[in-house]
Amino acid sequence: MKIFRTKKNVQVVVRSGPLALKIAASLLILFSIMALVALRWVHNGIQERTQDLLTQSAGLEYANQQLEEKIDSIGSVQSIQDIAREELGLIDPNVVIIDTQ
């Protein structure tokens, strides 16, 4: 048994305990440390995934904005004709194409 005295005249007595108690306390401390490491690892993974999702969200918001602008511009007859001609390869039914080959 060891007796320690502190500055405020308080005695701290450290008694030797059973070996099973020491082993149980050591295992509990070891398990607690391992649990903290595992929680930190999970926390870091969640933070990384959150950053990935935020980046993806920003990209989707930009694409959505571009699509909304395109939808707003499609409203005119001229823009619909331009899309039909350029993207779909369609022509005005009143136009006659003469192939010289």
Distance between the two ends of the chain, CA-based, in angstroms?
A: 111
Q: Where do the structural domains in the chain lie, given as residue ranges?
A: 21-75
- Tokens standing for residue 8: 């405020």
Q: Is 89 left (phi over 0), alpha (psi -120 to 50) or beta?
A: left
Q: How far apart (Å, rounded) are the C-alpha atoms in residues 32 and 24? A: 12
Q: How far apart (Å, rounded) are the C-alpha atoms in residues 69 and 76? A: 13
* C-beta atoms surrounding 34 within 10 Å: 10
Confidence of residue 95 (pLDDT cuts 50, 70, 90): confident
pLDDT in tens, 1-56: 566 666 667 766 667 778 888 899 999 999 999 999 999 999 999 999 999 999 99
- Decide: pTM greater than 0.75: no
